[in-house]
Amino acid sequence: MGDLAGVTAKLPYLQSLGVDAVWLSPFYKSPQADAGYDVADYRAVDPLFGTLDDFDAMLEKAHSLGIKVIVDLVPNHTSDEHAWFREALAAAPGSPERERYMFHPGKDSKPGSGDGALAPNNWKSIFGGPAWTRLTNDDGTPGEWYLHLFDTKQPDLNWENPEVHDEMRSVLRFWLDRGVDGFRVDVAHGLVKEAGLPDWDGAAAMVEGGLSAPGAHSEAVEPHTARLHIVPAADNSAGPVATAVEHKVKPPLDPPSPFFDQDGVHEIYREWHRVLAEYDGDRMLVAEAWVEPAERLARYVRKDEMQQAFNFDFLLAGWDAERMAEAIESSLDAAGSVEAPSTWVLSNHDTVRHPSRFGLEDPTTFPKGIAAEDEQPDAALGLARARAASMVSFALPGSAYLYQGEELGLPEHTSLPAEARQDPSFFRTKGVERGRDGCRVPLPWKSAEPGFGFSEAASAGTGGVGAAGKVPAAPWLPQPEAFGELAADVQAGVGGTTLELYRSVLAFRRAHGLGSGTFQWAEEHDPANGVLAFHNRDVLVVINMGTAALPVPAGLRVELSSDGSSGEASIVPNSGAYLVAL
């Protein structure tokens, strides 16, 4: 899986790429039931990744290179192997130990009404299946139920309990004392649940947005279900069966979700804001909050709460000029209303990589993973579109986030065999959801080495001899053969490659101050015909998502283009973008 020493070794690569900060997904002690998002100890590094000394060395090296470090905080739930949950299991119902989590009797457990066999409510897990699991007492009798909005091994914390607030503030201070620059807050919209835990017939997903956000009132077609209709195999195995293409309509949800975007989360982030203010330097919080509309998301970045929130409307807009323009405008307006910067992101560890999404027949769809049985993306078209869209994201005012390997143009691994998959959502839905493993495949560093140079740890019997006589370990997820042509050593220093495009665009962004710049739609802006164009400071940005070639305005010279061309030219249809310094 790589380790902290490996991160340290690659920090010069990140510096040469032109990034300002790195966000690390969880490296805490964990049984790895959900890739580390099941934390057993918030103050310890899992031995899989190294030690606290390794973390300190990585942080020191990053700071020496001018790179800030943001660590992932998982406050909605812990691992079932966390000391608190073990104590809760050993304690009696109603005990202080159980009050740290969401333990409840069954809804039919009142005297004379039943034995508590019905779950406290009808909530469903984000990963599929029920959101409640019933305990078995030491004497073999059935016991209480506990809530897990995700996997059974991820019990939800009870944020009505002051002890939970105290503990998480202490965790913040532990890492701030070590010098971290900020926190990415996992499921930031999910900590507080509606009082009384009412039944809810909606179906929330972790990766949704726009009109299909959890609890939104809409009859629009769900983007992520507008692909193949997937049903479990007849033998109930993990292998799914694809049938005819169809569009499902999501009915309006009323009331909205009782476990997402509750007003009570904001007081938690005001508490955390005060903790960060105790420390010198520019410390920050960034929210992973799948909420809609943009005005609701803006509440997370008010002046006394977080500093940034991921802009998933932009990510979900897809390859569509009108949708992208609407996402840009609404995001800037909402963030501006609270004097916060917007953010821009196209891929992350929970989504199909955008070069693959943009290569689908409908490039606005949002599949929950892609398998060999599904429609396979047009790799060349998807990459061309991805390069253009990435240029737009880096040219907008605000903070731009890029997902590891995006700078190499990596596609989704769309042919992972079922036996290689590890995402709990794949197993809990019996393969109906393909899962997130396809975007988490390790990076290719060196094209000619086993595992494309990702692993160099000594591990007998796992492959050929790599650098310095070391025997590489097999990467934790298998890499597709196509990664060899996209390896960092193949692209570095070669004009026209995606890696060099990213380096050039990020240098251009810094030189022109685009992150802290201004925004105005340009005269050329025509989203109805596939053209998105805007000014930021002294730069004109144009992306052609239409079907006809678009000439560069007379008298202007292209500084950077997504297809590598420059000078006076036209922008290729359906996949081109350029930046012009006015």
Q: Global pTM?
A: 0.88
Sequence letter at residue 208:
E
Contact 530, 390 (CB under 8 A): no
Burial tier of 430 (Cβ tally within 10 Å: 0-12, 13-18, 19+): middle
Q: CB under 8 Å to 286, separation ≥6 — which residues? A: 23, 70, 182, 183, 184, 185, 306, 307, 308, 309, 310, 343
Q: Identify the band that residue 469 occupies on the pLDDT scale cut at 50, 70 and 90.
A: low
Q: Say how far apart CA 189 and CA 185 lie, in whole Å.
A: 9
Give pLDDT, residue 113.
54
Which tokens go with 509? 């962004």
Q: Of the segments 102-111, 408-417, 472-481, which one has the largest average pLDDT value? A: 408-417
User: Which residues are 132's β-sheet partners?
Assistant: 147
Q: Say how far apart CA 343 and CA 335 lie, in whole Å.
A: 9
End-to-end CA distance of the chain: 46
Burial tier of 348 (Cβ tally within 10 Å: 0-12, 13-18, 19+): buried
Give pLDDT, residue 567.
66
Backbone conformation region of residue 574, classed left if phi is above 0, alpha if psi is from -120 to 50, else beta:
left
pLDDT in tens, 395-411: 999 999 999 999 999 99
Pairing mode of beta strands 520-521, 399-401 = unpaired
Give the residue carrying structure tokens 């002890």.
163
Which tokens go with 80? 């079932």
- Based on the residue annotation, tell me whether 186 is a catalytic residue of this protein: yes
Pairing mode of beta strands 142-147, 103-104 = antiparallel
pLDDT at 183 over 60: yes
Give pLDDT, residue 256.
85
Quick one: which of 4, 6, 110 has its CA closest to 454?
Answer: 6
Q: What is the 3-state secondary structure (H, E, C) of 291-322?
A: CCCHHHHHHHHCCCCCCEECCHHHHHCCCCHH
What integer best gives the mean pLDDT of the chain? 88
CA 431 → CA 42, 129, 426, distances in Å? 31, 12, 5
Q: Identify the band that residue 264 occupies on the pLDDT scale cut at 50, 70 and 90.
A: very high
pLDDT at 506 over 60: yes
- How confident is the model over 531-550, as a mean pLDDT? 95
Give the CA-trace dihedral at 402, 407, 412, 415, to 10 degrees: -150
- Among 199, 201, 246, 278, which one carries the catalytic annotation? 278
Give pLDDT, residue 292.
86
Q: Identify the band that residue 108 occupies on the pLDDT scale cut at 50, 70 and 90.
A: confident
pLDDT in tens, 476-500: 999 999 999 999 999 999 999 999 9
Sign of CA dihedral 104, 109, 111, 115: negative
Give pLDDT, residue 580.
81
Q: What angle do CA 564, 570, 576 make, to 5 degrees?
A: 50
- Among 186, 208, 350, 559, which one carries the catalytic annotation? 186
